[in-house]
Amino acid sequence: MCGFACLWKVDDEALARRMIEKIEHRGPDATQVYRAANVPAIMAHCRLSIIGPSDGSQPIYSNDNILVANGEIYNYADLRAILGESAFETRSDSETILHLFRSNQLRWLSKLDGMFAFVLATPDRIIAARDPLGIKPLYVARLGDGFAFSSELKAFDGLGLSHVEAVGPGEMFDSLEGNRRWFRISHGAASEEAGFQLDAVCRELRLTLEDAVRKWMVADVEVGSFLSGGLDSSLIAALAARSIDRPLKTFSVGLEGSPDLLAAQRVADHIGSEHDTLAFSAADVAKVLPHVIYHLESADIDLVRSAIPTHFATTLARRHVKAVLTGEGADELFAGYTYHHQYANSPRELADELTRSLTSMHNINLQRVDRITMAQGLEARTPFLDRDLIEFAQSIPASLKMRIVDESSGKTVEKWILREACRDLLPADLVWREKAQFDEGTGTVDVIDEALAIATGTSSPVDRETEARLYRDLLCEQFENPEMILANAGAWVQDRVTVPS
């Protein structure tokens, strides 16, 4: 996991250095700036070494092609075998991108399986691309007659640019051939059809999830797991613990005695993990607000609230590991949000909404996870967003995700099919535990009013309008061009995700 800043046809090495310095938190292990003799590009990279730690430094240069990448390519070993080991000079998974491009295969980009963003330059062309869900960030801006790219918006702050935009999930920017969408999420199924076999689907879902967890644990360093005590992170941790021959390291945060801390400890005891916890207070929350908002690159109330426990979980985990698994994506795949219950009688509308929300995760929950973990040099991995798992989950009828379990009362259970497929992994009361938002289960909601009072220097309760203004002010104080940051931020509106147009 890393960060990068790139200039194309902009001959300003000092500018590239200033840009990468603003995001060096993403890669605390090494920083390099490279100018090639025959390519009109300056590539800057900061590295968090996960795979190939001894020889995987970037930029990677080969035959007038230069690459910088952020993320992980989980099928890199298979690609190396196909492309030929003799072509490779390092053990880095990122090097596969370079050789795959040079192979001239049709739809070469679709052969990459993982979470990634990269920029690849040749003497006459620059290409930038992003993974299917936008797990890893990538931004581009016109700069004079050339272009500037970076992993975070803050790298562009103070440059006086009129417009910065994200390269979208599953999109490729190509200076010669134009932009294109190289990946599209398949539309979700609605209801069971004739001959549907529930047991077979549950078995296949379980196998696909197990495979995703094993795949997303590939690393040359130890990988731990966030463990909130909720269903999603608990299932991931349980499967991860089964896939290794040592105790899994798990991490939980919250207020003393909060529901998540208690549930997480039960899960940790059940799966035999090496468990650590961190309790935080209202004063702690108030203290970290500026840091959280600066790195989050958003002032959205709900995103900030959920970023706070993520910050403390990151602080704890980074003391022990460089990479963690998370449960992100399960709610979007299997209907886990409270507002999804309103679709229980309309599976088609639910399937449509789940598909829509998957395509808009990149600048809401995925932005939170990426920015807050990378602010402390921690790699967050999201096995639920494995490409094979997404494809299979989208084929499961939405009526089995939000299921009506009692016709007389209309009682519905979210993520029913996921719970059913994994019910042997955890105690029954934890498998069927009702959903709680991360900031609710950790107790953040219970102290936010007190923290806001501390931050604003008042003893009165802080209303939502004042809270929004505080977050916006904290963001604006830390950037020279806050409007550029805010223009790229997503927002939760009436329980739905909206993205910038």
Q: Among the options 2, 6, 46, 422, which is catalytic?
A: 2
Domains and CATH numbers, the chain: 2-181 (3.60.20.10), 198-498 (3.40.50.620)
Confidence at residue 283, expressed as pLDDT on a 0 to 100 scale: 94
Q: Is 492 helix (H, G, I), strand (E, B) or coil?
A: strand
Q: What confidence score (pLDDT) does residue 186 get?
A: 95
Tokens, residue 173:
């920017």
Instruction: State how far the Cα of 150 lies from the Cα of 16, in Å rounded to an integer.
Output: 10
CA-to-CA distance for 353 and 124, rounded, in angstroms?
42
Residue from 213, 445, 214 nearest 308 by CA: 445
> What's the confidence (pLDDT) of residue 501?
37
The pTM is what?
Answer: 0.94
253 known ligand binder: yes
β-pair partners for 250: 225, 275
> Would residue 202 show up in a list of annotated catalytic residues for this protein?
no
Cross-strand bridge partners of residue 71? 116
Token pair of 7, please? 């200039």
**What is d(CA 164, CA 159) in angstroms, rounded to the nearest whole number?**
11
Residues in Cβ contact with 351 at an 8 Å cutoff, skipping those fewer than 6 apart: 187, 188, 189, 190, 397, 398
Burial class (CB in 10 A: 0-12, 13-18, 19+), 401: buried
- Give me the pLDDT at residue 87, please: 84
C-alpha–C-alpha distance, residues 455 and 475, integer Å: 14
User: How do the pLDDT tens digits run along the chain, 501 residues long?
Assistant: 699 999 999 999 999 999 999 999 999 999 999 998 899 999 999 999 888 776 678 999 888 899 999 999 999 999 999 999 888 888 889 999 999 999 988 899 999 999 999 999 999 999 999 999 999 999 999 999 999 999 999 999 999 997 999 999 999 999 999 999 999 999 999 998 878 899 999 999 999 999 999 999 999 999 999 999 999 999 999 999 999 999 999 999 988 888 889 999 999 999 999 999 999 999 999 999 999 999 999 999 999 999 999 999 999 999 999 999 999 999 999 999 999 999 999 999 999 999 999 999 999 999 999 999 999 999 999 999 999 999 999 999 999 999 998 888 889 999 999 999 999 999 999 998 776 555 555 566 778 888 998 999 887 788 999 999 999 999 999 999 999 999 998 876 645 544 443
Instruction: Give, in order, the Cα–Cα distances in Å from 449 to each of 23, 237, 279, 325.
Output: 31, 32, 17, 30
Rg (CA), the chain: 22
The CA dihedral of 5, 7, 8, 9, to the nearest 10 degrees, is 180
* Inter-residue contact 301 to 491 (CB < 8 Å): no
Closest among 12, 288, 44 to 152, alpha carbons compared: 44
Grouping H, G, I as helix, E, B as strand and the rest as coil, residue 118 is strand
Q: Give the pLDDT score at 496.
A: 57
Report the side by side order of strands in the sheet with 323-325: 274-279, 249-254, 223-226, 323-325, 379-381
269 appears as a binding residue in the annotation: no
- Cis peptide bond upstream of 59, omega within 30: yes
